[in-house]
Amino acid sequence: MRPIRWIALTAGLALCAPAFVSDSHAQDRQTMRFQGMDQNRDGAISRSEWRGSDNSFRQHDWNRDGVLSGEEVRPGARGRGRGQADRDFNSPWDEYAFDDWTVEGFTELDHNRDNRITAEEWHFDRDSFRRADHNRDNIITRAEFLNEDVEDDDRGDNFRDLDLNRDGRIVATEWHGSQAVFRALDSNRDGAVTRVEMLGEEAPPNLFNSLDINRDGQVAKSEWHWAPTAFDRLDVNRDGRLSPAEFRGRVSEAPASGAYQAGHNRGSIEGRAAGREDRDRNQGWDLEGQRELETADSGYAASMGPKAEYQAGYRDGFRAAYREGWERR
């Protein structure tokens, strides 16, 4: 028979245990990312609780289970991207998102092995680069890339998806990262982050020049960062290198349809005008923020052919000509 004192002690510990677990869960909730959205305090965030766009929610829902929980809401945690080498390449004028914030991802970008990535070496969206650059020196160190200081910079969300009401400003209720990062981005201290404050005023580097690491006027497979099949589609003469003409050509080798060409012509005119206007008004480079690219059907008529082909041509033409307008060619 066990002593009465042991039974009492065991019973006391049992009574205390639930309170201990509850306190632990409460602590987890206090330190979780996006905790202000966890309305029912269950340590997870459903789509209905999420204050943001569908694209933004999908960006954070790494396991695609419809809720943000576990590692997805742990401060400093990073989902492993599928890697750029698995992604297609559809336009030489896009600012492609980067999501492989791993040692392997860093090594792939750090061509000269100096343990840092400069703006000239960066081939992807400016949103991610500027937010990963914690000390704002225009360089991402290995420590910053791997987020070793556990700064909640929310680098996976782009400006477009954060700006829910499309007014060109991110306010505190639209922001998903830490307040410290928000304040650092809000350079004029007006309580909102504009596109220029987040992305900078200047145009991103020309993508071809950025990829051409050795400056030989060609992009070799060793300099390529997307799917090999995309490289092969562009490499028309099959010499294992992309000339500027090949790089800027259509991905498909098939001749452009009439609908595509009509869209390209219209997009070129409107893209050139938009680039010139943004530069003249000192609004900063804003190619991906152009509303015309959303519908991409300006000037379309059914008689021109398939709308999807017209839209593809419009977007290609607009993106190419936007830089021309920006640079006042």
Per-residue pLDDT at 15: 38
Domain map (residue ranges) of the chain: 4-73, 84-199, 258-326
**What length does the chain have?**
329
Does the pLDDT of residue 28 top 60, yes or no?
A: no
CATH classification of 4-73 is 1.10.238, yes or no? yes
Per-residue pLDDT at 50: 92
35-57: average pLDDT:
89
Does the pLDDT of residue 23 top 80, yes or no?
A: no
Interatomic CA distance for residues 52 and 106, integer angstroms: 29
Per-residue pLDDT at 3: 45
Q: pLDDT per residue over 221-241, tens digit each?
A: 999 999 999 999 899 999 999
C-alpha of 32 from chain center: 22
Per-residue pLDDT at 254: 57
91-115: average pLDDT:
87
Per-residue pLDDT at 24: 37
Higher pLDDT, 268 or 155: 268
Contact 317, 264 (CB under 8 A): yes
Exposure string over 104-123, b if 16+ CB within 10 A, otherwise e: ebbeebbeeeeebbebebbb
Cα distances from 194 to residues 124, 189, 199, 240, 291, in angstroms, run 20, 11, 9, 42, 16
What's the predicted TM-score (pTM) here? 0.73
Q: What is the mean pLDDT of the chain?
A: 84
Per-residue pLDDT at 65: 92
Per-residue pLDDT at 301: 96
